């Protein structure tokens, strides 16, 4: 384990994914979900090809010993991505992001059940406390009274359901990613994920297509490239720490969602945002401190008792 490297990579991926989601929300008002998924997945392959061709390791992106593992992950990812983008098209960025934070809680449970990771009460506590901080930050945002019509409420309800589905399948994707990293390379994991989603998005294109302007086309391409870079960084983070350790740091995306929500969509943060941010940061710092203490304890145990001098 390299805890600090893993956390740094996780935080960087959260920022890039939030920027991408802001773009998805903008494009979701004019383009069908399948088309957005197609561009997001297709152009996510570009960073993989460029980076690993430069490093002369391109064959690592297509070589695999576990094709069925990639198929399983791809299936989970396709459902998760379609659900996530559908929720972003129907809900404000802060609301959709808030619901998505059910995913780390599910990830911890699945890590204990499927991966047989030893999840101590301290990690459970950090995740729960972090989730509480997110709820505190979002109390002002969960007000559906501004949906004056029944149609508006139905759209919001559908968006919430899609967000919950996305949280469930994204947690499954994290677990499958963790399983694949034991034998598969980072570029192969990202490549086959992107390929699966691109194929699924392409299937929908004959049925729903929006001809984009040059500006919209640039945004569609950019969200794919950003998503690809973020996915490479995220996948790499799971090589240095367990899924349950990194789960609380998913909450950092909420801070970015509030910033971009205010900047792009006029969502004004309240005092509760700062309270919630302190709770989330405290939970994350507690995990770092606790893992450091456990690491020191393990090293002392491995060293054994000192011989008397």
Most confident of 67-76, 151-160, 300-309: 67-76
Q: What is the predicted pLDDT for the residue at 284?
A: 72
Q: Is a pLDDT exceeding 60 seen at residue 150?
A: no
Provide the pLDDT confidence category of residue 63 given band limits of 50, 70 and 90.
Answer: confident
Q: What is the predicted pLDDT for the residue at 309?
A: 41
Most confident of 121-135, 145-159, 269-283: 121-135
Q: What is the predicted pLDDT for the residue at 146?
A: 52
230: left (phi over 0), alpha (psi -120 to 50) or beta: alpha
Distance CA 48, CA 45 (A): 5
Q: Is a pLDDT exceeding 90 seen at residue 142?
A: no
Q: What is the predicted pLDDT for the residue at 149?
A: 54
147 phi, psi to nearest 5 deg: -85, 95
Q: What is the predicted pLDDT for the residue at 302?
A: 66
91 phi, psi to nearest 5 deg: -125, 155
- Residue (of 265, 239, 231, 167) closest to 17 by Cα position: 231
Answer yes or no: pTM beyond 0.75: yes
- Digit-coded pLDDT (tens) for 107-120: 777 887 787 777 77
Most confident of 58-62, 63-67, 71-75, 264-268: 71-75
Q: Let me know the angle formed at the C-alpha of 112 by 287 and 196, rounded to the nearest 5 degrees.
A: 100
What is Dmax (Cα atoms) for the chain?
A: 81
Higher pLDDT, 212 or 234: 212
Higher pLDDT, 295 or 276: 276
The structural domains of the chain, with segments of one domain joined by +, span 3-303
Q: What is the predicted pLDDT for the residue at 144?
A: 54
Q: What is the predicted pLDDT for the residue at 286?
A: 78
């Amino acid at each position: 384990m390299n805890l600090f490297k893993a956390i740094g990579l996780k935080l960087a991926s959260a920022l890039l994914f939030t920027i991408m989601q802001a773009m998805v929300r903008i494009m979701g008002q004019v383009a069908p979900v399948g088309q957005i998924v197609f561009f997001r997945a297709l152009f996510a392959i570009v960073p993989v090809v460029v980076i690993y061709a430069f490093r002369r390791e391109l064959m690592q992106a297509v070589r695999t010993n576990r094709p069925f593992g990639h198929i399983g992950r791809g299936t989970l990812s396709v459902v998760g991505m379609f659900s996530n983008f559908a929720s972003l098209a129907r809900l404000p960025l802060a609301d959709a992001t808030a619901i998505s934070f059910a995913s780390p809680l599910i990830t911890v449970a699945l890590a204990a059940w499927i991966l047989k990771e030893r999840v101590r009460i301290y990690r459970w506590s950090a995740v729960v406390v972090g989730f509480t901080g997110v709820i505190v930050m979002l109390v002002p945002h969960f007000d559906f009274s501004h949906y004056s019509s029944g149609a508006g409420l139905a759209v919001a309800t559908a968006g919430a359901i899609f967000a919950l589905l996305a949280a469930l399948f994204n947690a499954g994707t994290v677990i499958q990613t963790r399983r694949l990293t034991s034998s598969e390379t980072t570029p192969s994991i990202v490549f086959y994920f992107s390929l699966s989603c691109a194929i699924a998005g392409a299937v929908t294109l004959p049925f729903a297509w929006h001809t984009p302007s040059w500006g919209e086309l640039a945004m569609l391409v950019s969200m794919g490239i950003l998503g690809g870079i973020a996915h490479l960084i995220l996948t790499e983070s799971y090589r240095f720490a367990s899924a349950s350790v990194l789960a609380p740091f998913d909450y950092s995306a909420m801070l970015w969602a509030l910033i971009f929500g205010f900047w792009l969509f006029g969502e004004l943060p309240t005092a509760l945002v700062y309270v919630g941010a302190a709770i989330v940061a405290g939970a994350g710092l507690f995990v770092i401190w606790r893992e450091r203490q456990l690491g020191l304890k393990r090293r002392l145990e491995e060293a054994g008792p000192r011989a008397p001098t």
